[in-house]
Amino acid sequence: MAHTCSTMVLHCMDFRLGSAIRNELETRGILNDCDIVAIAGAGKTIVSAEPASWHEAALSHIELSKKLHAIKKLIIMNHTDCGAYGGRGAFEDREAEDAQHHADLKAAAGIVKEAHVDLEVETALVQIDDDGSIRFESVT
């Protein structure tokens, strides 16, 4: 029996995302049909060569997920108030924060698609509001 799954999810290590991401994947029906990789900053690790070990870990896990489990799709999930970006305080306002994530997610998707033309890449920004509520926004 082949051991394959449809998707790899790359998201940030941040503990606040845990149940929200699991719920999202369950709602999509892929919770047990995806490889899950958590690295601080998620998409940032693809666009930024530093730290090199994070960058290499992200890229090599995409390769590995394809090789081992024949994934057809990668979902990159960034989130707001991310420590790898210096937190919410590193930005002038929410618009600037969103813009940075959108730019990085688009760039990350471009880099992955260049290396893996056969891979569908989806990007999302997980909004963590100041009251702790969490919602998913598709980024295209």
Task: For the CB of residue 40, give the shortest distance to Zn ion in the complex, in Å.
Answer: 6
User: CA–CA distance from 8 to each of 12, 30, 63, 77, 98 (Å)?
Assistant: 13, 10, 10, 11, 23
Residues listed for the chain: 140
Q: Identify which of residues 47 and 69 has a Cβ nearer to Zn ion in the complex.
A: 47
Look at strands 73-79 and 34-38 and give their pairing: unpaired
Binding residues (CB under 5 A) for Zn ion: these are: 12, 14, 82
Q: Identify which of residues 69 and 124 has a Cβ nearer to Zn ion in the complex.
A: 124
Task: For the CB of residue 131, give the shortest distance to Zn ion in the complex, in Å.
Answer: 18
Task: For the CB of residue 101, give the shortest distance to Zn ion in the complex, in Å.
Answer: 10
